[in-house]
Chains A and B, each alone.
Chain A
Amino acid sequence: MSSRGGKQKKGNVTSEQEEEEQPLQAVLVADSFNRRFFPISKDQPRALLPLGNVAMIDYTLEFLTSTGVQETFVFCCWMSNKIKDHLLKSKWCRPTSPNVVHIITSDLYRSLGDVLRDVDAKNLVRNDFILVYGDVVSNIDVSQALQEHRHRRKVDKNISVMTMVFKESSPGHKTRCEEDDVIVAMDSKSKRVLHYQKTQGLKKLQFPMNIFQHGSDEFEIRHDLLDCHISICSPQVAELFTDNFDYQTRNDFVRGILVNEEILGNQIHLYVTQDGYGARVSNLQMYDSVSLDMVRRWVYPLTPEANFTDQQGQGCTHSRHNVYRGAEVSLGHGSQMEENVLIGRDTSIGANCHISNSVIGNNCTIGDNVVLDRAHMWNNVHVSSNVEIHQSVVCDGAVVKEAVRLNKQCVLAYNVVIGPNLSLPEGTVVSMHHPEEEEEDDDDEFLSDDQEVGHSKDKTRQKAFNPAEVGPEGKGYIWKASMNDTEDEELAQCLWGLVLNPDPESDSESEASEESQDRSRSVSPEIDDVNAFQLEVLGTLQRGLEENIVCDNLVLEINSLKYAYNITLKEVMQILTRVVLEYPFQQQGTQLTTLQYTGSLLPLLKTWSPVFKNYIKRAQDHLDCLSAVEELFLEQDTHQTAMVKVLMKMYQLEILEEEAILKWFSTGATNDKSRQLRKNQGVRLGQICVWGKPSQNVKGYQFGHCGSLILLLQKETTLLIFSDGVQRKQTPCSQCHKKESCGMV
């Protein structure tokens, strides 16, 4: 630390003298504010759950200390006493610790927002600070990001309020949490975040266009980022949380800042690192992968044998294939520790066991012929012989009796007894807490005192254990996440991540719909505006008809609407066309016959033709209008025959020019359907041009034998229109007129 600290100090003397005199501060939130780890976190706060036999909060503190943080505020809520006791005993509270830890507890914190509002109220931070959760495991060197952040703040006069630290990792990485999966659009030069969205299984993502219209010419849209949940914040962040009392999470904050960017002028930046490791243990899936990453030394130098917490007797040795052994470990005859195994002190393992990718805590006893694969056992666990455990978590004091098999993703919470001779199905969670007791607790929404747990335990005793569930000698209840939670705003309360949700489809759908609502509400305002504009135009026209308003006034009104909703001219025209053409349906229902439709539409077109003429002036306008017409008739395919009449009327009213129609007809159709449409209309189109209103330009028309429409223009030129709308090279055709050419090759 001293070397890094020294370096910083040196840099500071030259650049930011007064500011840097102050020590670097950090805010550590030692509460998750959700129940993802229930029922485990009912007995122990999440920050104290062991990861590689070390409490998670110690990793976070070590990370902060090694970055040079000199003052850390630890905010605890749920079981704050336990966290406090732990910290007071740890090396962080020794007088020699370079990082002074202040513990702040309150039962009133319900979210990250509350914590930061309290930070603001107590005026704790004076300068930029690092914001982390108590379950972040990382070895990233943040000093680079910190420097960038300070530089930006100096240059841009405090516009940048937050720098989020992300780690590059491609999709599909085991350590990427599905729930935290984000898509970020950023300015590649300034690293400014333009758009931030959690994917959460969405298949379609939408980006508001306006983010790409800002100054820079290079953008990156990235999906290869792992959110480390480490953010470098300016002191304004706390103030902003106070100002916006509805901000609960960092996600709210980021969205809020991005949406209100133009009003408040705050920006959020991104720091993407390739080295280092950073992840937040947000569910058991993540717990499993982070634990394994740690044993595989990705978090070096935070490795098990480093004993960075400096506790007596916690040391262990590291040997080949990442096998770590604590002191006084005994291993029976024929037992194998294959790879990536961490065994705590005073643990004894019987004969002929196979252990791989597992972490075993202190003081455990394991019988003979036991198979452990990706098992996470905490302290004082007793496992009898012939047991198989796959990818499961076994908490403190649990007992697994003979011949029990734990399939994937089982959880045995504190002091549970299972077996003998039982196979727990995949995803079983067994706890000493009865699930119903949880429902009762739900009424007083947040449980934050230990008393309550104690008093509910008495109740638990009265209910008998079900031997079919936990075995003849078993103790414990099958835990089911209560139904209320899934309806909550929060994510599904499944212990293991979203991926493994028992009913992934329904869940992701509900997420998706929720998400899309959210999006239309806040992130991308355009969609809303367009719809609103369309309704307004419809209303205007209706009124115009009813009250006989002059067309000029209608134009005026539409123009003002255009500005109110920030709609481009092109969109105005398209919407106008659409509204007019849909008007008969709007008034008389969709069951109109084609004849009725045209009958009611054509007079309308005549009435409103001045409105159209006002907007359709340039050649491009004509094409846009035509494409809007086409689009509508593609949707209303039963009324396709009406199209030609509409076009003819518009042509007669001089809304559309003949050349524009021909050009539209001849330009390539975008898809099969529109090609089909043109083919059907091709013949009739000729009628428009020649018979609809005798034109000066066209002498006559004829068909090429290949089905193309040949217009004979007066100026000696021949215009070829192919029925499929595709332009081909004109080649002379022997079967047609001598001088004519047709599309036949």
Chain B
Amino acid sequence: MPGADKETDLTERIEAFLADLKRGGSGTGPLRGSGEMARETTYLLRRITAQARWSSAGDLMEIIRNEGRRMTAAQPSETTVGNMVRRVLKIIREEYARSRGSSEETEQQESLHKLLTAGELSEENFRQHFVHLKANVIEAINELLTELDGTTDNIAMQALEHIHSNEVIMTVGRSRTVEAFLKDAARKRKFHVIVAECAPFCQGHEMATGLSKVGIETTVIADAAIFAVMSRVNKVIIGTQTVLANGGLRAVNGTHSVALAARHHSTPLIICAPMFKLSPQFPNEEDTFHKFVSPHEVLPFTAGEILSKVNVHCPVFDYVPPELITLFISNIGGNAPSYIYRLMSELYHPEDHKL
């Protein structure tokens, strides 16, 4: 039976993706960049839309929400996955509304009254069957994929507006987005980049090699020297793992100290973050916020006897409060941290914040 075959193929793929997520991250952060992760999630969601059995938008949303819940549980630190699930859910809502003929505007608008009356009603609404819904949703997801493909370029394009000649730029660790951003600027301008190595994983070294290959004057410094060097720096440009709902960051360890040093010297702190990194999560002391990996990098296993006498921890992420951030550069332009809430409501439906 071909239908059943398809289904097992689909579940196999989902399982493989979940297993991959669980093992994701050897220690140096995610195995792949978040961009790739976002794309892979979206591909999988498109496949679910195409192959799973559903008759109405409500069914489909339920399926996707279930799978999304499992995916986010598999690797809570990988927020991109949850974000893409929310994006797809939003797409389904929009397509359903359009098929029904009601304008998107009314669906979008929020009011206190609506919040109070909403709930069961909205679920009821998605029960209607439309023939073209599937094709439309897939079409919209394809658009999303095209958007994802272009994010890094879109951000890099804005580089010349922010980087001027003979500036000294500081960055920390390695971010593919920032790397593309700096490389783009280097085509026209000459500037100096200082890279904090970001121990214990030292992705900064990789970043510096990448930058110096295209002829950018690059200096690697130890993390301890960040404050000392900051006085010479004109701008700090960094990437992040997640942009939180309050405009704060969850970024690689050491970013907070960079941000504080930048604030002390009144150096602008610019974050390069594509929109898919925007997450409706708040920085509460939730247990999933942190990610602790094997302490091997901090104190190697070979150290021997001492290991039974000390506790070694190796956290991966830092929280940076929004007050320290000057500007976000995303694929749709520059935004201040205070504007994040608005972007959030544009990208996700409020009911999907919690999957």
From residue 406 to 442 of chain A, which have CB atoms closer than 8 A to chain B? none
B19 at the interface (CB under 8 A from A): yes
In the complex formed, the residue of B with least CB distance to A301 is B23
From residue 263 to 309 of chain A, which have CB atoms closer than 8 A to chain B? 274-275, 277, 289, 296-301, 305-306, 308
Residue among B22, B311, B312, B313 facing the most chain A CB atoms (10 A cut-off)? B22
CA distance in complex: A16, B166 (Å): 52
For chain A, the count of residues having a C-beta within 8 Å of the partner chain is 42
Contacts of A66 in B (CB 8 A): 19, 23
B353 at the interface (CB under 8 A from A): no
A1 at the interface (CB under 8 A from B): yes
Q: Mark A167-184, 1 if CB is under 8 A from B, else 0.
A: 111111110000000000
Binds A, one of B47-55, B176-184, B288-296: B288-296
* Apart from A297-B293, A301-B22: 9 A-B pairs, beta carbons within 8 A: A96-B8, A98-B16, A173-B307, A277-B301, A298-B294, A301-B25, A301-B26, A306-B22, A322-B311
CA distance in complex: A230, B44 (Å): 35
Q: Is the interface of B mostly helix, strand, loop or mixed?
A: helix
With A1-B23, A169-B302, A317-B287: A297-B295 Cβ-Cβ less than 8 Å = yes
Q: Mark A302-337, 1 if CB is under 8 A from B, else 0.
A: 000110100000010111011000000000000000
A391 at the interface (CB under 8 A from B): no
Partner of A296, one of B11, B305, B312: B312
Contacts of B305 in A (CB 8 A): 170, 172-174
Contact B19 A65 (CB under 8 A): yes
A621 at the interface (CB under 8 A from B): no
Q: Mark A55-92, 1 if CB is under 8 A from B, else 0.
A: 00000000001100000000000000000000000000
Contact A296 B8 (CB under 8 A): no
28 sampled A-B residue pairs with Cβ under 8 A: A1-B16, A1-B19, A2-B16, A3-B20, A3-B32, A66-B19, A66-B23, A96-B15, A97-B15, A98-B15, A98-B16, A98-B19, A167-B301, A169-B304, A170-B302, A170-B305, A173-B305, A274-B302, A296-B312, A297-B294, A297-B295, A298-B295, A299-B294, A301-B23, A308-B22, A315-B73, A322-B292, A322-B313
B308 at the interface (CB under 8 A from A): yes
B12 at the interface (CB under 8 A from A): yes
With A169-B301, A171-B304, A298-B294: A2-B8 Cβ-Cβ less than 8 Å = no
Contacts of A740 in B (CB 8 A): none
Contacts of B15 in A (CB 8 A): 94, 96-98
B29 at the interface (CB under 8 A from A): no
Q: Mark A441-456, 1 if CB is under 8 A from B, else 0.
A: 0000000000000000
Contacts of B301 in A (CB 8 A): 167-169, 173, 274, 277, 298
CB of A95 to closest CB in B, whole Å: 7
From residue 1 to 49 of chain A, which have CB atoms closer than 8 A to chain B? 1-3
For chain B, the count of residues having a C-beta within 8 Å of the partner chain is 37
Contact A174 B11 (CB under 8 A): no
CA distance in complex: A167, B303 (Å): 12
CA distance in complex: A296, B25 (Å): 17
Chain A residues at the B interface, C-beta cutoff of 8 Å: 1-3, 65-66, 94-98, 139, 141, 167-174, 224, 274-275, 277, 289, 296-301, 305-306, 308, 315, 317-319, 321-322, 339-340
CA distance in complex: A686, B248 (Å): 96
Contacts of B31 in A (CB 8 A): 3
Contact B12 A96 (CB under 8 A): yes
B300 at the interface (CB under 8 A from A): yes
Q: Top 3 closest A-B pairs, CB basis? A: A170-B304, A300-B294, A172-B305
B27 at the interface (CB under 8 A from A): yes
Contact B302 A319 (CB under 8 A): no
CA distance in complex: A97, B313 (Å): 33
Contacts of B25 in A (CB 8 A): 301
Contact A96 B302 (CB under 8 A): no
In the complex formed, the residue of B with least CB distance to A318 is B287
